[in-house]
Amino acid sequence: MSDLQQEIQPKGAKIKGNKPVNQLEAANRFIAASAHQQMHDQRLWDLRKKRDAQMHLIPEWEELRDLASDIKSHTLDHLADYLEEFERNAKANGVHVHWAKDAQESNQIIAGILKEHDAKNLVKSKSMLGEECLLRQHLEEEGVTVIETDLGERIQQLDKEDPSHVVVPAVHKSRTDVSKVFVKTLNAEEGNNDVHYLATTQRETTRPYILNADAGMTGANFLVAETGAVVVCTNEGNADLSANTPPLHIVTVGIEKIIPKMEHLAVFIRLLSRSALGSPITQYTSYFSGPRKGGEMHVVLVDNGRSTRLASHKFKAGLKCIRCGACMNTCPVFRRSGGLSYGSVYAGPIGLILSPTYNVHKYRNLPFASTLNGSCTNVCPVKINLHEQIFAWRETLAEEKELSLSKRIIMTSLGKLFAHPKAYRMAVQTGDKLLSYLPHFMVYNQLNTWGRQRDIPTPPKETFHSWYAKNYMKKGKADE
């Protein structure tokens, strides 16, 4: 057996009420499971490379990104108008449209629709908004059986875990991990970790739920204001089954998913799957313009803090996100720490700027889980300035006094040191000399978090300032 088959899958962050999530502790546990960490890193980097290959096949790629970003910016500037246009056209198509100000109201509306139709069995396709609103938990408390039909989401549901990625929810699991889950929950053949067998097992055990469901639910990748239509992009066809097999179809969608016209849809369809998975297009791009024959369709438009973000000059751009996961696939921190280490629905770079908007205290550590290298910004199909927004969140956390005590002490001390150039230069010179003579155990100790996983660079013989002073200042060449 390989190390990956023997190794136990690491679990995610330990959630303790409203206490700040300790992403570092969870990340360290994920890194310690070296076989899983390497598998996770390689899988996501493979998606990044496939994305790049697709990008190079399209000469107008950067023009598409500019256009997508401009369309989103324009739409956000006129969001109320386009939402009302969508509502008018959707209603004209026979769709019931509901508005929810927050997660609680959204859950109540959906539970009310199901109760009105005496629906006790719901099948649903992947919806990050559903995860955001804790919808499944709410409906189960109301006596509704909810079955996830997406393969990755079903794996996570059976294992009682949250999705770890917005596109590939179980990417942190090996096929042996999945096999163990299916043996425990689906009576699968023990020890059989063949991927085709596992996928077939999930499909065959989920299909009866779909055929006997009272209602189906999907999310939405896009809403088209011009036509009042809902667009869903999937690779398994489960969204189409969830929407068309039961008599009742419910769509839950964030208000930022709106785009003005059909002609704009093509721009995003060309970018979405290429950015997410490195494939030219999703296997299914479904366009729901109304209820099926003899059926009923409801669309629940959910705010849940989006209007607040819309009013924020700093963080408004985050609403452009089309949930492709490209920023996660390229992020070195996410690839090596796993999505569940963030303890939030949204992980990776996009999660660092979204999560604090829901609970600034609980997620105050997340904006520091980044190297600010800018790779996330470079791959974002709608050109969100992710690394700049992550940095802006760090500023905001400091302003709102949400930094940890250790960070406050360090930042205050460094601020005073940097404010006095002579003291700073003296500290650098002293530090360089000490590093050259101190024994190893005194440098690499519990206080030196930087040195836990890397060697400190060898100090230079002289600093740039001392070299400049010696070669120019003393020779009267300061103006050269």
Q: What is the pLDDT of residues 414-471, one digit of tens each?
A: 888 889 988 888 888 887 877 777 787 777 777 777 777 778 788 888 888 888 888 8
Question: What local confidence, expressed as pLDDT, does residue 337 receive?
Answer: 96
Q: Which residue, among 206, 195, 215, has the nearest Cα to 114 in the 3D structure? A: 215
Q: Looking at residues 127-154, what average pLDDT do you find?
A: 97
CA dist 281 and 81 (Å) reads: 30
Buried b (16+ CB within 10 A) or exposed e, 105-132: bbbebbbebbeebebebbbbbbbbbbbb
Task: Judge contact between 463 and 429, C-beta under 8 A.
Answer: yes
State phi, psi for 447 to the nearest 5 degrees.
-80, -20
Q: How far is CA 64 from the centre of its chain?
A: 22
Q: Looking at residues 350-356, what average pLDDT do you find?
A: 97
Least confident of 49-53, 93-97, 245-249, 408-412: 408-412
pTM for this one?
0.90
pLDDT greater than 80 at residue 474? no
pLDDT greater than 90 at residue 321? yes
Question: What local confidence, expressed as pLDDT, does residue 480 receive?
Answer: 46
CA dist 18 and 147 (Å) reads: 29
Q: What is the mean pLDDT of the chain?
A: 94
DSSP-derived 3-state class of residue 285: strand
- The residue that leads in pLDDT, 409 or 279, is 279
Query: What letter does residue 291 receive in the DSSP assignment?
Result: P
pLDDT greater than 60 at residue 192? yes
Going by their DSSP bridges, the two strands 145-148 and 229-234 should be labelled as unpaired
CA dist 364 and 19 (Å) reads: 10
Q: Which residue, among 276, 208, 287, has the nearest Cα to 240 in the 3D structure? A: 287
Q: Looking at residues 37-66, what average pLDDT do you find?
A: 98
Q: Looking at residues 220-224, what average pLDDT do you find?
A: 98
Q: Looking at residues 255-277, what average pLDDT do you find?
A: 97
pLDDT digits (tens, 9 = 90+) for 15-30: 999 999 999 999 999 9
